[in-house]
Amino acid sequence: MLIPLFWADRLLPFSLSLNLLILVAVYFYFKQENAKKQRTEGLLRQQTERERLVTQIAQHIRQSLDLDHVLTTTVAEVQQFLQADRVLIYRLWSDGSGCVINETVLPLYPRVLGQSFPEEVFPQAYHQAYALGKTRAIANVEEANIEDCLVAFVKHFGVKAKLVVPILQENRQAEGHPHIAIPPTLWGLLIAHQCSNPRQWEDWEVELMKQLANQVAIAVQQSELYEQLQQLNTQLEHRVQHRTEELANTNATLQAEIAERQRTEAALCHTNYTLQALIAASPRAIFTLDLNDTVQNLEPDRRTKCLAGLSKRRSVSPTLFFKTTQNIAPCGRAS
């Protein structure tokens, strides 16, 4: 079908405009798709990096029983990954006070490491909320509703935004009552500070901090169990050493008693040998008295056997016995 020249002159500009619109639409479509793809790839890379970080810290925990090394590694990795100006671990004590035990901070900002803070700096309401596992992300501390004592703290250390995640330590079930669940203990806080400017914390950043706080809690529990094991080993070593010393002393006493008994037996044998030699060489009757004053015959002579077994109180007249015993020489020989 041929288009009249009149209409051709009028349809050509419209056709060109339509083609241009189609090209523009296609361009923006592919640009949008490319942006989505890049955003998706970025999220995947970010997720991969988060998983790598959590895995790396978990590996540090498995490989090291040094809690301070694990905590130092954790704050350094978090500070680098989040590009935060300061990351610290705040240890809470039972009386409500606390201390910064680990910190990584850019050189532009003051250090908080080692500083202790009274109970008033950490209100009870915050303690209860964190003990329940709640987190707190503040994009701008000047616009947030925080306590006056905390306002002074954040201004002194130049904090513009902060992200706080609790470190909870799971408790064992009550002894004898396995059905009673004991709530976790608030061991401390994992905190990220932005000091250069306010910062809107992303959901994935909060989730990452929670995962790392869980890893820190595992490291704390592992370290405490290892410390308890070391204490038990030390106590056991002391007990073994004490028992060994007791056994050594007992053995020394027994050895001394055995040696004394051997010396006594040797002396008795020597005395008996001497006495037997004396009896054998003596031409006269020799008697001895035992503890019951009974005459004991030391000579196999039949003539003296009649006196054996007699005593001062039986069968032998006092005169005869007296005369007999009076005639016994100091060495036991009858005169």
Residue 262 scores a pLDDT above 50: yes
- Evaluate whether residue 213 is within a structural domain: yes
With a pLDDT cut of 70, the percent of the chain lying above it is: 74
- Evaluate whether residue 161 is within a structural domain: yes
- Print burial letters for 156-185: b (CB count within 10 Å at least 16), e (below 16): ebebbbbbbbbbbeeeeeeeeeeeeeeebe
Span 32-71, pLDDT tens digits: 877 777 777 667 777 777 778 778 777 777 777 788 888 9
Number of folded domains in the chain?
2
Residue 168 scores a pLDDT above 70: yes
User: How far is 102 from 113, CA to CA, in rounded Å?
Assistant: 6
User: How far is 87 from 57, CA to CA, in rounded Å?
Assistant: 15
- Evaluate whether residue 15 is within a structural domain: no
Which phi and psi (to 5°) does residue 132 adopt?
-85, 0
* Claim to verify: residue 72 and residue 160 sit in the same structural domain: yes
- Evaluate whether residue 85 is within a structural domain: yes
Query: Residue 4: left (phi > 0), alpha (psi -120 to 50), or beta?
Result: beta
Range of the domain at 190: 47-171+183-231
∠ CA 76-79-85, rounded to 5°:
125
* Claim to verify: residue 101 and residue 201 sit in the same structural domain: yes
Tell whether the torsion through CA atoms of 58, 59, 65 and 71 is positive or negative: negative
Mean pLDDT of the chain: 77
* Claim to verify: residue 55 and residue 146 sit in the same structural domain: yes
CATH code, domain carrying 146: 3.30.450.40
pLDDT score at 286: 61
What number of CA atoms fall less than 13 Å from residue 245's CA on the CB side?
5
With a pLDDT cut of 90, the percent of the chain lying above it is: 24
* Claim to verify: residue 83 and residue 204 sit in the same structural domain: yes
- Evaluate whether residue 12 is within a structural domain: no
Output the pTM of the full model. 0.62
Span 117-161, pLDDT tens digits: 888 778 888 888 999 999 999 999 888 877 777 777 788 888 999
* Claim to verify: residue 305 and residue 204 sit in the same structural domain: no
Span 212-236, pLDDT tens digits: 999 899 888 888 888 888 888 888 8
pLDDT score at 190: 96
Taking residues 27-31, what's their average pLDDT?
76
* Claim to verify: residue 162 and residue 61 sit in the same structural domain: yes
Span 73-118, pLDDT tens digits: 889 989 998 999 999 999 999 888 899 999 999 999 999 999 998 8
User: How far is 82 from 60, CA to CA, in rounded Å?
Assistant: 19
